[in-house]
Structure 1
């Protein structure tokens, strides 16, 4: 089965504004508290998955009764985070794109783990993004078109030791065949000149973060 796009709602920072990102033909997979958030706002997840240890037993029943499919696991003996469980479930449907909402929050370990999940998506030839109220994150190993999306800043951070051949078109601060190594801030806080810009690289793995205060 092939699905065009899957939206994963997980239990980090969620806001009502993010519900506007849902399209009519999206498949929605919700992890733990993300499922309760959707149901409380009148949206039925196609799949709810996780250990559901962040909600009460009464809320768990509500999630079970209001999800098309409900997958629960033992919180003690599981090896995956709830978000990774949702991601693994999404892979079964061979989507062209995965959008993760609620994948950032106060737990930096979970946030970074979810950034690494985007790397795994690329290994499966699936484009992936993480979005919250203040950030939109994607990865590239070759070329990416960056749309404005109402975010003021665009920052480029290497996820490999170095990223080479970085060339920017349509940005306030252009780069031409530049190299950025881990620990360098050369790519931080750029801005688009118009509605979109292009980032191309020769080698490495580049994290593109669009952000606003």
Structure 2
């Protein structure tokens, strides 16, 4: 399935995007600098370019006003969706201001609500949102996994193959029962029958 990679100006995180020909890479403002430093292909550059400090010379550039309703990243998500992408991977969108990270989590929620999927890749951390669905992790997955309710409640929540298991539980926004679970070298899964969940994976410290 084709992927839209969105590169922001924040902490770059683990690994590098490896886009195929059918994928799209959108660099948001200072994310253009991240791409230039790492040799990542850019298909489109967007933003008001206050972070980058200049408007890049690129065949596809969208210069946005500094005062706007959409964040640069939010505008990029809309552009990718308009072009038919339903899978999104974000780099450089965490690790700075917590308000920006939360805004990007809301973008994940918006994608999930429309049937899309996204993941924020940070340094030693990743974020995903699932909605009325199941996600499966391979046995090679390591570290902590925390699961939070996004909304008033999430029903029929199952966590299997992890250190602590849940079976058709009800999660609410008021009580963080799903924090700091752990991968244990087995195939695992998280499912929600009705509602939306935020999943946060974190590496264990040395």
Q: Same fold (TM over 0.5)?
A: yes
Among candidates 2, 15, 18, match of residue 15 of structure 2? 18
TM-score, normalization by structure 1 = 0.87
1:154–1:189 Cα contact (<8 Å) kept: yes
Q: How far is 1:203 from its partner?
A: 1.5
Q: Distance in 2 between matches of 1:148 and 1:89?
A: 35
Among candidates 101, 111, 116, match of residue 101 of structure 2? 111
Classify 1:137/1:149 alpha carbon distance in 2 versus 1 (closer, same or farther; 3 Å). Answer: farther
Among candidates 5, 8, 26, match of residue 6 of structure 2? 8
Please name the residue that 1:52 is paired with: 49
Please name the residue that 2:166 is paired with: 175
Aligned alpha-carbon RMSD (Å): 1.9
Among candidates 120, 143, 151, match of residue 130 of structure 1? 120
Q: How far is 1:155 from its partner?
A: 0.5
Q: How does 1:184-203 map to 2 (within 5 A)?
A: 184-203=175-194
Q: Secondary structure at the match of 2:154?
A: strand
Q: How far is 1:136 from its partner?
A: 1.5
Q: How far is 1:185 from its partner?
A: 2.4
Q: How far is 1:55 from its partner?
A: 2.1
Is 1:30 aligned with 2:30? no
Q: How far is 1:202 from its partner?
A: 2.0
1:18–1:101 Cα contact (<8 Å) kept: no
Q: Distance in 1 between matches of 2:10 and 2:145?
A: 22
1:135–1:151 Cα contact (<8 Å) kept: no
1:153–1:190 Cα contact (<8 Å) kept: yes
1:44–1:68 Cα contact (<8 Å) kept: no
Q: Secondary structure at the match of 2:105?
A: helix
Q: Secondary structure at the match of 1:210?
A: strand
Q: Distance in 2 between matches of 1:196 and 1:143?
A: 13
Please name the residue that 2:65 is paired with: 74
Q: How far is 1:190 from its partner?
A: 0.8
Q: Name the structure where helix makes up a greater proportion of residues.
A: 1
Q: Secondary structure at the match of 2:158?
A: strand
Please name the residue that 2:144 is paired with: 153
Among candidates 42, 45, 67, match of residue 39 of structure 2? 42
Classify 1:195/1:131 alpha carbon distance in 2 versus 1 (closer, same or farther; 3 Å). Answer: farther
Which structure 1 segments of 5+ residues have no match?
A: none
How many residues are matched?
A: 202
TM-score, normalization by structure 2 = 0.89
Q: Secondary structure at the match of 1:177?
A: strand
Is 1:139 aligned with 2:139? no
Q: Secondary structure at the match of 1:86?
A: helix
Which structure 2 segments of 5+ residues have no match?
A: none
Q: How far is 1:68 from its partner?
A: 4.1
